[in-house]
């Protein structure tokens, strides 16, 4: 019995961590490359889930095709946001904060007006339950872990192995120096924003199938993304993986021992203690 609970907890850890990492990775990319705190990132995560829902349920498109279209559509939304809302204020953190907070209100209000505030759910991507040695795993949870792992690996390889990815690293270290070397910084900013938003859309779509969708589902996820990025260390993309696994483990295991209302507080306290010991985070520079 105990082994079954432990195995199920491991599955929940991997599923939650995959979602957290996908959202936090996009948030970290914008912070590291563009140097902005995109507080609207979790609202974009919510919008991605609703686009997938509308395509799959209202239009009747296959769920996987809806996921892909949602990913592309939100990536294009990222291009628009970077050009219209982010680029004019890149050197002004105060205005960026105001703009991204305004975007949260705009996106949430748009969903409320067009779709409604009722709880929605995306049809299962992988229907049914898989059983391994007495442990039951829903197909959606397994798919979330696989998709999250594949996308994380793809982003890391893209950053480390491609010309555009190396330019992103150069800009994250010194944007002015990178521009002097001939790197088209605005193009890299646009690509980075599109990738970050597309990852958030995938996470929102998967969460909509596992749990549910609501216009305010991004509020908690924003806090999780910020916690992971700070825990990983500002400027560390790879550290998001470890930070996401730690936070996913806390959120999946703590409810077994304490009430749900105390889980978030306890997890946050543990992260604060870790940061008191290592203020720069696990892999980044001091904040």
Q: Is the pLDDT of residue 51 over 90?
A: yes
**pLDDT tier for residue 50 given thresholds of 50, 70 and 90:** very high
In a domain, 240, yes or no: no
In a domain, 252, yes or no: no
Mean pLDDT of 132-160: 83
In a domain, 138, yes or no: yes
Most confident of 20-24, 241-245, 260-264: 20-24
Distance CA(126)–CA(113), nearest Å, equals 30
Distance CA(126)–CA(108), nearest Å, equals 28
Burial code of 50-81, b = ≥16 C-beta within 10 A, e = fewer?
Answer: bbbbbbbeeeebebeebbbbbbebbbebbeeb
Residue with tokens 């009747």: 60
In a domain, 262, yes or no: no
In a domain, 261, yes or no: no
Residue predicted with more confidence, 129 or 71: 71
User: 198 with 155: CB under 8 angstroms?
Assistant: no
pLDDT of residue 135: 67
In a domain, 282, yes or no: no
SS3 at position 45: helix
Number of domains in the chain: 1
**pLDDT tier for residue 66 given thresholds of 50, 70 and 90:** very high
In a domain, 248, yes or no: no
**pLDDT tier for residue 118 given thresholds of 50, 70 and 90:** confident
Q: Is the pLDDT of residue 178 over 70?
A: yes
Mean pLDDT of 72-95: 91
In a domain, 97, yes or no: yes
Q: Which residues constitute the domain of residue 201?
A: 2-218
**pLDDT tier for residue 287 given thresholds of 50, 70 and 90:** very low
* Stated pTM of the model: 0.90
């Amino acid at each position: 019995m105990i082994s079954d609970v432990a195995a199920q907890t491991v599955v929940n850890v991997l599923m939650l961590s995959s979602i957290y990492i996908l959202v936090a990775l996009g948030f970290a990319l914008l912070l590291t490359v563009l140097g902005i705190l995109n507080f609207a990132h979790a609202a974009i995560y919510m919008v991605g889930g609703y686009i997938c829902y509308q395509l799959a349920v209202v239009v009747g498109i296959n769920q996987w095709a809806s996921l892909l279209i949602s990913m592309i559509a939100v990536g294009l939304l990222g291009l628009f946001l970077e050009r219209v809302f982010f680029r004019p204020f890149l050197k002004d953190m105060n205005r960026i904060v105001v703009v991204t907070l305004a975007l949260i209100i705009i996106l949430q209000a748009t969903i409320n007006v067009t779709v409604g505030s009722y709880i929605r759910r995306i049809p299962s991507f992988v229907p049914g339950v898989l059983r391994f040695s007495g442990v039951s795993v829903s197909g959606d949870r397994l798919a979330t872990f696989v998709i999250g792992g594949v996308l994380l690996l793809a982003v890391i390889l893209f950053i480390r192995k491609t010309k555009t990815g190396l330019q992103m690293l150069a800009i994250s270290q010194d944007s002015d120096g990178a521009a002097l070397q001939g790197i088209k910084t605005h193009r890299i900013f646009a690509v980075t924003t599109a990738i970050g938003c597309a990852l958030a859309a995938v996470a929102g779509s998967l969460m909509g199938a596992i749990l549910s969708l609501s216009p305010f589902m991004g509020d908690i996820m924003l806090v999780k993304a910020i916690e992971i990025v700070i825990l990983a260390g500002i400027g560390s993309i790879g550290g998001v993986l470890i930070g996401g696994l730690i936070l996913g483990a806390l959120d999946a295991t703590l409810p077994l021992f304490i009430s749900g209302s105390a889980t978030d507080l306890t997890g946050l306290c543990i992260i604060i203690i870790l940061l008191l010991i290592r203020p720069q985070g696990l892999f980044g520079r001091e904040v």
